[in-house]
Amino acid sequence: MTEPRDDRLAAALRDLGDRLDVPPAPDVREAVLARLATPPRRRPVLPRWATVAAALVLAFAIAVTVSPAVRATVTDLLRFAGIELREEPGPAIREQGLLPGERSVDLGEARHLAAFPISVPAALGYPDDVRVADEPTRVVSLLYQAGPGRPPATAGPVALRLDEFDGQLGPAFEKFLSMAGGQAVDVDGVPAIWVDRPHELLYIDRTGEWHHETARLSAQTLVWQRGAVTFRLEGAFTLSDALRIAATVG
């Protein structure tokens, strides 16, 4: 049985405590007596989100400064909101070829196979290729070649791809992805993240299982969520172009 997250975090912090060299505590009796003589001041109460954020910052600091074993445990616990914070450089961009379990289908078949609604960006029109992955289908990718209103192709024929994931990033993904180098933006009022370097995306499917995907085309990527579907738009475009295209996904 998998150990609960709280127990794993506690074990990691205990291991960290065993490794830290803490000097003897100084004699603070006089300072304490002087402070007791001073009238107490009302302390501001931190909102719950601020407390959680502080704990995450502490955990992230631990993850990048201690032993590999402790770092691995704490890093695993930082897989919040679809994003895993990593110390090492981002993953390499994948080739455009088919992945294991991925196959080309037409749009009608993809809509039949997927348990979620597939959206097509009106700014791009009908895709040049459609791919589905996993069984049952959890990822649908719409691929576009270079053309009017589209970015140039940088490697191979595909210039732009829109991946649609049957899963959610979670309500706090904006904060934590920004820690990994993302820029907070919005798509028609919906929180989104612009990432300009290779990255790894983690999402949770409808059964609660974690999945991850890496960039396929370029470092320029826009990620957002609508309902129970996560969208990732990749291509060699500017942020303004990505937002323009994303606004027409429907």
Tokens 């994931």 label which residue?
165
pTM across the whole model:
0.57
Exposure string of 198-221, with b = 16+ CB inside 10 Å and e = fewer, is bbebbbbbeeeeebebebbbbebb
**Tell me, what's the pLDDT at 79?**
39
Confidence (pLDDT) at 58 = 40
Per-residue pLDDT tens listing for the chain (250 residues)? 445 555 655 665 666 556 555 556 666 667 666 666 666 665 555 454 444 444 444 444 434 444 454 444 444 444 333 334 344 444 444 445 555 567 899 999 999 999 899 999 999 999 999 999 877 888 899 999 988 888 888 767 888 999 898 876 554 444 445 445 678 899 999 888 888 766 555 555 556 665 555 545 456 889 888 888 889 898 888 999 999 999 999 8
Bridge partner residues of 213 (DSSP): 201
Buried residues in 96-122 as b, exposed as e (16+ CB within 10 A) = eeeeeeeeebeeeebeeebebebbbbe
Tell me the one-letter amino acid at 204: I
Per-residue H/E/C for 88-115: CCCCCCCCCCCCCCCEEECHHHHHHHCC
CA-based end-to-end distance of the chain: 41
Structure tokens at 213: 């995907």
